[in-house]
C-alpha cells in the first residue's frame, strides 16, 4: 500500500547545527504514530518538515503520488505547541477564519466544528472570546481549528502539555475516534505512558536520528525489557544534546531593539548572567 506521507533521506540543518539526520519514514492511513523523544531530540523539527513549514536541507517529504508536502498543506491539520489563537476573536471566529483560508464553506466548517466540539465538551463555549480561556480550552479550540477543513493527516505537537487530567484524557479519546474513522494522526510527546495509550506505532527520536520504530510490543522485544520506559532508556543511552535554541544567538535587530526598550539597570543585570 502506498504511504500517505513519505520522508526519504531527510536532513535538516541550521548552519552548523544538524537538527535531523537522514530520516526515512513511511506513514500509512488510519494509524496513530507517536514521535517520542526528550527536549532537543528533533521532534518539533521533524513535525515542521512533515507540515511543510520547513524545507529539508536534503532529501524529500512527499504525500501520495509524489506531491511535495509544501505544496499540499490543505491536506494537513496542525496543532503546534503554542496555539496562536487570536484573543479578541471567539473560538468559532478563530476556527472560521482558518477554514476560510482553506476555502471551506462556513456551514460545512461549522458542522464539523460542532460535531468534534461535543466530543471535547466545548460546544457551549464556541461563541466565547478566547482571551479568557484556560490552557485546556485553548488547546481544544486549536484542535477544532485544525480539524474544521477535513485534513487527511493531523499533526500534534505535545497536545496534552500543561493540561489537567480530564482535558488530556478527552484529547486522547478524540485521537482514538479519529483513527476509528480512518484518520491518520502523528502525535509528538515525551510521555511514554501516553504514547502507549494512544499510538499503535512509536518512533523514538534521539539527537536527530530515528533510534527505533515499531509497535510498543516490538520495542519491548527489541530491547528485552518489560516496560517502554526501560526500552526508551536502553535505546537512548547516548547523552542527549542541548536544545537547539540554547545555541542560537539573537539577531542584530533583536539586540538593537532590546537595548532601546529595556531599562538600563535591567539590561546590565541580564548581560551579567
CB 192 within 8 A of CB 36: yes
User: What is the C-alpha to C-alpha distance for residues 210 and 201, in angstroms, rounded to an integer?
Assistant: 13
Between CA 21 and CA 206 the distance in angstroms is 10
Q: What is the mean pLDDT of residues 30-42?
A: 88
Evaluated on CA atoms 163, 166, 172, 177, the torsion sign reads negative
Residue 253 has pLDDT above 80, yes or no: no
Measured CA to CA, the distance from residue 93 to residue 21 in angstroms comes to 40
Residue 217 CB neighbour total at 10 angstroms: 8
Domains of the chain (ranges, CATH numbers): 5-243 (3.40.50.300)
Give the pLDDT band of residue 162 (cuts 50, 70, 90).
confident
* pTM (2 d.p.): 0.81
How confident is the prediction for the chain on average, in pLDDT?
85
pLDDT at 122 over 90: yes
Residue with cell 545555541: 247
pLDDT for residue 71: 75
**What is the tens place of the pLDDT at every residue in 38-92?**
888 888 899 999 988 899 999 999 988 788 787 777 889 999 888 889 999 999 9
Residue pLDDT, tens place only, 168-225:
888 888 999 899 988 999 999 888 888 888 899 999 999 889 999 999 899 989 999 8
Amino acid at each position: 500500500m502506498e504511504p500517505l506521507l513519505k520522508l526519504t533521506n531527510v536532513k535538516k540543518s541550521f548552519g552548523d547545527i544538524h537538527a535531523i539526520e537522514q530520516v526515512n519514514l513511511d506513514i500509512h492511513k488510519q494509524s496513530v504514530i507517536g514521535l517520542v523523544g526528550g527536549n532537543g531530540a528533533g521532534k518539533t523539527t521533524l513535525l515542521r518538515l512533515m507540515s511543510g513549514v520547513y524545507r529539508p536541507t536534503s532529501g524529500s517529504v512527499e504525500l501520495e503520488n509524489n506531491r511535495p508536502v509544501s505544496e499540499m498543506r490543505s491536506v494537513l491539520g496542525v496543532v503546534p505547541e503554542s496555539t496562536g489563537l487570536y484573543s479578541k476573536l471567539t473560538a468559532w471566529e478563530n476556527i472560521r477564519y482558518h477554514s476560510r483560508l482553506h476555502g471551506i464553506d462556513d456551514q460545512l466548517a461549522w458542522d464539523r466544528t460542532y460535531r468534534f466540539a461535543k466530543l471535547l465538551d466545548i460546544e457551549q463555549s464556541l461563541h466565547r472570546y478566547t482571551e479568557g480561556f484556560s490552557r485546556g480550552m485553548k488547546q481544544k479550540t486549536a484542535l477544532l481549528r485544525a480539524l474544521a477543513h477535513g485534513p487527511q493527516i493531523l499533526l500534534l505537537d505535545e497536545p496534552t502539555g500543561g493540561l489537567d487530567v480530564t482535558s488530556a484524557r478527552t484529547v486522547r479519546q478524540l485521537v482514538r475516534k479519529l483513527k476509528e474513522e480512518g484518520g491518520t494522526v502523528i502525535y509528538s510527546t515525551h510521555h511514554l505512558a501516553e504514547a502507549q495509550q494512544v499510538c499503535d506505532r512509536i518512533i523514538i527520536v534521539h539527537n536527530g536520528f530515528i533510534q527505533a520504530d515499531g509497535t510498543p510490543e516490538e520495542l519491548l522485544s527489541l530491547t528485552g525489557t518489560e516496560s517502554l520506559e526501560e526500552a526508551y532508556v536502553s535505546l537512548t543511552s547516548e547523552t542527549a544534546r542541548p536544545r537547539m535554541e540554547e545555541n542560537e544567538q539573537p539577531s542584530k535587530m533583536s539586540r538593537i531593539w532590546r537595548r532601546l526598550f529595556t531599562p538600563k539597570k535591567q539590561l546590565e543585570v541580564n548581560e551579567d548572567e
